Amino acid sequence: MGEGLGSLLPFVLMFVVVYFFMIAPQMKRAKKEKKFAANLKRGDKVITRSGLHAKVLELNDKDGSCILETMSGKLKFDKSAISMEMSEKLNAPEKK
């Protein structure tokens, strides 16, 4: 009985390590991104994952899209295409 439990222990420990170092942070990040997308509002300055700088004009909760205004016109994007990290850096107050 002790041998069977002893051979399972490394696998259990490996799963625990993988969970705390990979799965839990990824779930936390996904939750934070979902909250960011839900808190978007008209007038917010954002940057898409592809690097497009724009301002939010309209939000459509039905299909999860938004209309962004750029210097060249209006574009429709998915909310998930907006980069949380780059948009937060853009809107963060500058430190001197």
Could you count the other beta carbons within 10 Å of the beta carbon of residue 18?
A: 11
For residues 58 and 64, give the distance between their C-alpha atoms in angstroms, rounded to a whole number. Answer: 11
Closest CA to 83 of 42, 48, 38: 48
The angle that helices 24-38 and 84-91 make with each other, rounded to 10 degrees, is: 60
Q: How distant, in Å, are the alpha carbons of 4, 53, 86 from that of 14?
A: 17, 42, 34
Q: Round the average pLDDT of the chain to a whole number and report it.
A: 89
Which CATH number describes the domain made up of 41-96?
2.30.30.140
Specify the pLDDT at position 91. 81
pLDDT average, residue stretch 35-44: 92
Specify the pLDDT at position 69. 96
Band (95; pLDDT cuts 50, 70, 90): low
pLDDT average, residue stretch 16-34: 92
Could you count the other beta carbons within 10 Å of the beta carbon of residue 47?
A: 19
Cα angle 89, 93, 95 (rounded to 5 degrees) comes to 100
Band (73; pLDDT cuts 50, 70, 90): very high
Specify the pLDDT at position 70. 94
